[in-house]
Amino acid sequence: MFDIDHSLTETERAAIARAGDFATAYVAPRAQAWQDAYEFPRQALVDACAAGLADLELSTAHGGQGLGFIAKLRAFEAIARQDMAFSFSLINHHNSMTRIARDAKGDVRDLIAAMRQGEIIGCTALTEPGAGSDFAAIKTTAQKDGDGWILNGSKAWITNAAVAGAVICYAQTEPGSGWRGIAAFLVRDERAGFVREAPFRFHGGSAIGAGGFRLENYRAKADEMLQPPGAGFKAAMAGINGARTYVAGMCCAMLDAGIETAARYATQRRIFGQPVLEHQGQRWALADSATDLEAARLLTDKAASIVQQGGDAVLAAAHCKKFAVRVALKGLADCIQLMGAEGLKNTHVLGRHLTNAKLCAFTDGSTEIQNERIGRFLMEKFSE
């Protein structure tokens, strides 16, 4: 019951190994340079696609590998050990492609083929300058116009917005109707009315490519509505539990890498005539992080199992994301403390991981939103 990996096929295990090899050989040597230059690594996405890491869950009918959620989770955990921001960018491209393939009407094979090659990068646009976790409050509008729709509004804090050419964009079709009026549209950057904003500059996580765009009388065709009003909101919420689960998995991966980095350093560095880890206070701090990591992994794997089986993962996803972010932030800070000022040098991964763990506190629902989900469950369970 504690090992979800037993269900992995040999094909899935090979894909996970491929992700680990790509992360070690390609991402690790470049990740800090991406951050130092505030660079969004567009070519790295193309190379990851060529390595077969962008279509893991995509159906075989569209040329994908048709693998399960657990395999995707493990593959992107392996990449997050080296750089969570790039892993998050790639998984968002992956997810937008699978959703377009699933929901788009008509023949989208040419678009999917281009996305599989990395020629077109995908993203999903929910958040706006004035609407983040309160998704039902989005102001981007979609007004019916003949056989199409006219979209107007702004999106912000969108992963891959720096270069995305295919966007799953959520818009309100009936202002004042809340979630019931929200629909999803396929938006293309090459069309008139799409205005890309400059990407944001973060202290860490530049490889996430976060930014925004404006839609100014953008015309979407009738068959570019991916989800009708009401169903658009439900589709977005259905995917959020998987997203929260893999964010938790990325936090586990970063903390695991941090513990390894600190432990290796502390067995070699000597203070007062002994290796750092020979001192009980230092050793126990690292042991606490290791215990927290084990607990976070169990919560994450439980949620992943529910997601893969198609069950209701709302509560499990909220628990694992909240806890994994918390222990990653504390544990990575403790790993840096164990290494002293050495831990802050950018030749180590710890500082970048710590910043990216904080980034995880906001992606796909803030920590406060997870508490709201858990708190409401408790209210419903124990109310008269």
Note the pLDDT tens digit of each residue in 317-354.
Answer: 999 999 999 999 999 999 998 888 888 888 899 999 99
Q: What is the pLDDT of residue 384?
A: 65
Q: How many domains does the chain have?
A: 3
Question: What CATH number is given to the structural domain containing 350?
Answer: 1.20.140.10
- CA distances 375 to 70, 330, 380, Å, are 27, 23, 9
CATH code for the domain of 217: 2.40.110.10
pLDDT at 109: 81
Query: What would the mean pLDDT of 9-38 be, rounded to a whole number?
Result: 96
pLDDT at position 340, please? 85
44 with 69, same domain? Answer: yes
Whole-structure pTM over 0.95, yes or no? no
Total count of residues recorded for the chain: 384
Alpha carbon distance 192, 94 (integer Å): 26
- 193 and 263 inside one domain: no
Are 274 and 341 found together in one domain?
yes
pLDDT at 322: 97
pLDDT tier at 176, thresholds 50, 70, 90: confident
Q: Is the pLDDT of residue 272 over 70?
A: no
Q: What is the pLDDT of the chain when averaged over all its residues?
A: 92
Last residue of a domain, one of 171, 196, 230: 230
Q: Are residues 310 and 357 in the same domain?
A: yes
Stronger pLDDT, 203 or 30, i.e. the higher one: 30
249 or 338: which leads in pLDDT: 249
177, 202, 230: which is the final residue of a domain?
230
Are 252 and 370 in the same domain?
Answer: yes
pLDDT exceeds 80 at position 232: yes
For residues 64 and 202, state if they share a domain: no
Residues 208 and 348 in one domain: no
Q: What is the pLDDT of residue 1?
A: 55
Q: What is the mean pLDDT of residues 356-382?
A: 92
Query: Tens of pLDDT along 57-97?
Result: 999 999 999 999 999 999 999 999 999 999 999 999 999 99
Containing domain of residue 219, as a range?
122-230
Residue 145: predicted pLDDT: 94
Rounded distance between C-alpha atoms, residue 148 and residue 20, angstroms:
44
Residue 67 or residue 230, greater confidence: 67
- Least confident window among 45-59, 73-87, 254-268: 254-268
Residue 14 is part of a domain; what is its CATH number? 1.10.540.10
Q: Are residues 317 and 243 in the same domain?
A: yes
**301 and 377 part of one domain:** yes
Amino acid 283: pLDDT:
78
pLDDT in the model for residue 270: 64
Lowest mean pLDDT among 27-36, 191-200, 223-232, 280-289: 280-289
168 and 237 inside one domain: no
Task: Judge if 264 and 353 occupy the same domain.
Answer: yes
pLDDT at 273: 65
Higher pLDDT, 47 or 284: 47
pLDDT in the model for residue 41: 95
Percent of the chain with pLDDT over 90: 76
Q: Where among 230, 246, 277 does a domain terminate?
A: 230
Show Cβ contacts of residue 372 under 8 Å, excluding neighbours closer than 6 positions: none
Please check whether residues 224 and 284 belong to one and the same domain. Answer: no
